Structure formats: C-alpha cells, structure tokens
Chain A
C-alpha cells in the first residue's frame, strides 16, 4: 500500500504555522471558480490548479478559494468570480491558465480589474 508521506505533511504544517504567525489579517479576497459540468469541460480544473500555485508562490493567506456550480452562461466558461472585500464582485469569462495568472497578479494582488476579460460586475445568481 502506497503510504501518505506524513513526515512531509508535518513539515508543511510547521512552515504554514510559522508563516501565519508573522501575519495578521483576515480574508481579503474570495475567488470562486465555477465548477459545473460546463466549466470542468472547458478547463476550470486547470484554472483552479494555476490559482492554487499562484497563491502558494505569492505566499498569501488572505485569499480564499471556493467552487460553485454553473450560473447558466455555459458557453463563456471557464468563469471565475473575484470578490475583494468592500468592492463589487467581478466575473471573468473564458479564463485560462495565462489569464488566471494575470488576474491573480494584477487584480487580486494589486487591485487592478482586468477589463478585457470581464463578463459582468455584481453578485452572481446561484
């Protein structure tokens, strides 16, 4: 039986705990990756993987990631919603790995909305 590498996981835990001790701060951004059948078929999983790698590389802990279902605009998938606390949510369309990196670095980290990729502003209807 292949075993989970518990020792490695313990090291990760210690590293994350040490990093978090240096920071204060609550959640600043919530990113929702739309993970319906349509989103998954269009590449939402790869978008999510890119997002998690960016978060790890930037060493930020105030960005929360979640998934949601389809909101009915299947032809424009993959879609993500970026909600910065106190600001209007922004829905991006046709996201791919490169766009995800750009949205993360420019919008999520620096607050600059990436207008060419925007589908809509405002709260999505579940």
Chain B
C-alpha cells in the first residue's frame, strides 16, 4: 500500500464484510501536536477475544482461500514506522473500532492520498451501508453523511454514477480548500 487512504479502504471493506450497517471514518490532522489520527468504527458483528488477540498476526485470517491476513498488520506497520501506533477494539455483537496514530511530519509517513476515491469506491460497492466521513485539519472540518445524501436523493440510488462522481469531487475539493485555509491560517 502506498497511501493511507488505501489502508482505510481496506479496513472499511473488512467492516462491510462484518455486516456493518453504519461505518464511521474519522481523520484528524493536528499540526500543533504533529499527529494524524485515523479511526474507523463499525456496528458489524465484532470479534471474539481469541480472534482479536491474533489480529496483528499477518499469518492469521478467518478466511479459507488464503493463509495470510495482511490488512491490519500493514496498517499497524505503517503507523509504527512513524513512531505511531495502531489499536483494535471489538466486542461480539457491538462492532469494531480500529484506531491508528501517525506522526504527521514524520519522514516515513505515507501520504494520505486520495480520500475522495476511497469514499467513492466504498460507497459505490456497498450502497446498502451508511457512512459518516469526518475530516478535521486543525480548526477546519468536513463531514459527509450518506444518510443525509439519501434524504436529498429520494429514489435515486446512492451508487448511481453521477452521485459517485459528485461524492468523489466534493471530498477532493473540500479537502483542498481546508488545506489551503489551514496553511494560510498558520502563517498569520
């Protein structure tokens, strides 16, 4: 994986396969604290203690088609490479929360990458799931809640191609604007 947004897409896909109806993705970039925090929480089936205990083991998976489970270990490795950390909390029946913390300006931190494409891809592939995507950069914030989009869209499906393009572009534009504003903000 070359960018953090790909790790995020991977973790979200895990959540959808755990039967989640609501997945919340939160990204917080704090320049003052030099941290980047990524949190993905779902209300899916959750994991028992044994599974949770082995989640960082790349040679453990619940799947039968292959013998490795690299999603979480790769994210954890990316976080540790920046003196950060990765934790997974889960309860059977309640859901799962994956949190990864990075040092924002660490030389080995992967770029965040294209969050617009990540959200557009996951919404296109899982139209029955709701997503709340919150992104904060210092004092600026952005929020996309598919439940609100559905209210506006009426009978038009969330995964119809023009809506997916709208989501992809809206996120890209909002993040670029936020970056710009927070940069000019710190100069004053």
Q: A2-B141, A67-B124 are in contact. List 10 more A-B contacts (CB 8 A).
A: A2-B174, A5-B170, A10-B152, A16-B156, A17-B155, A20-B156, A35-B125, A37-B71, A40-B1, A45-B6
29 inter-chain pairs at a CB distance below 8 angstroms, sorted by A residue, are A1-B143, A4-B144, A5-B170, A6-B152, A9-B153, A12-B162, A12-B163, A16-B160, A17-B155, A37-B10, A38-B70, A40-B1, A40-B6, A45-B6, A45-B114, A46-B117, A48-B124, A49-B121, A52-B120, A52-B165, A53-B165, A55-B161, A56-B164, A65-B124, A66-B125, A66-B126, A67-B13, A67-B126, A69-B17
A61 within 8 A of B: yes
Which residues of A, 23-75, contact B by the 8 Å Cβ criterion? 33, 35-38, 40-41, 45-46, 48-49, 52-53, 55-56, 61, 65-67, 69-72, 74
In the complex, chain A residues whose CB is within 8 Å of the CB of B163:
9, 12-13, 16
A101 CB to closest chain B CB (Å) equals 14
Count of inter-chain pairs, beta carbons less than 8 A:
113
B7 CB to closest chain A CB (Å) equals 8
Given contacts A10-B152, A49-B117, contact A74 B66 (CB under 8 A): yes
Given contacts A2-B177, A2-B178, A45-B6, contact A70 B166 (CB under 8 A): no
Chain B: which residue is nearest A47 at the CB level? B121
Q: How far is the CA of A12 from the CA of B163 in the complex (A)?
A: 7
In the complex, chain B residues whose CB is within 8 Å of the CB of A61:
160
